[in-house]
Amino acid sequence: MRTLLLGANGQVGFELARSLAPLGELVCASRDGKMPGGAACLAADLGSPASLAAALDSTQADVIVNAAAYTAVDRAEDEPQLAQRINARALAEIGAWAASNNALVVHYSTDYVFDGSGTKPCREIDAVAPLGVYGASKLAGEIALRDSGCDHLILRTAWVYAARGHNFLRTMLRLARDRDELRIVADQHGAPTPARLISAATAAVLAQRMGGREMKPGTYHLCAAGQCTWFDFAGAIFARAQAAGLIERVPRLVPIATADYPTPARRPAYSVLDCSRIRDAFGLRLPTWQAGLDAVIGELAG
């Protein structure tokens, strides 16, 4: 199996590059043609139709795993055309190529396709209603991929973080060294999900496909088990980080409402995803968000 990994230098892509390597030939690609650390890889810019087409044609992959995306949620409000190009139109092009070449596309989407107005974990069949440009562009990408007619898996995830890259955990650890007090939103609910969990689950699903297991294309939710608020998550990060020697002291945490921390883009208040479908379909065991955090803190502590 030849796999093309798009967005291989992102926090999810970095983990995928490790988890997918044992499954066969793996071609890593990033927008600038570089991997973390500076090693060269294939250049594939989803913002450029010519660059993307060249990467697809040159690789002739059996599986395309798309971990590339426009993820600047607030900046997207001012750059809707760019977000739409990368998150939606590029998916139509990937899907069309895959349909013509009998390839499977694995694509990652987001909890931001929901408006967060519910109080129960969102299912794949629940109504979507994005609140901003980012969520709308990701939803458009899902639709484009489905409409292409290609064999596909859309994996919606949320609150992604890792030991590297730009994410909430790393921001909290940085701020803990400089500030005595942090005001953290306490009325948004989700499930913090490590990039390594996403990559491991993806590899497990693809390994089953290689083994001949019939795989039903479609949309699946993929997150850590359980739920918390950003305030809860911050407290758990600091407790574990201090115990692991990553920070000397824990700043005082003050819970605030979303309204007290205005941002250009609106966030879903409740974006917990129901992951029972992917568990049942592929027999996956999804660890709790606390266990995932323990693993990432352990990685940072060395």
For the annotated catalytic residues, the residue numbers are: 134
Rounded to whole angstroms, the Cα distance separating 40 from 289 reads 34
Rounded to whole angstroms, the Cα distance separating 64 from 43 reads 15
Selection from 239, 231, 254 nearest residue 297 by Cα: 239
Rounded to whole angstroms, the Cα distance separating 275 from 219 reads 11
Rounded to whole angstroms, the Cα distance separating 34 from 205 reads 27
Return the residue matching tokens 């600038």. Answer: 32
DSSP type of residue 23: G
The β-bridge relationship of strands 104-110 and 25-30 is: unpaired
Strand partners, 8: none
Return the residue matching tokens 């199996």. Answer: 1
Rounded to whole angstroms, the Cα distance separating 33 from 43 reads 4
Structure tokens at 163: 């030991």
Q: How far is CA 14 from CA 20, 30, 60, 132, 147, in A?
A: 10, 11, 22, 27, 29
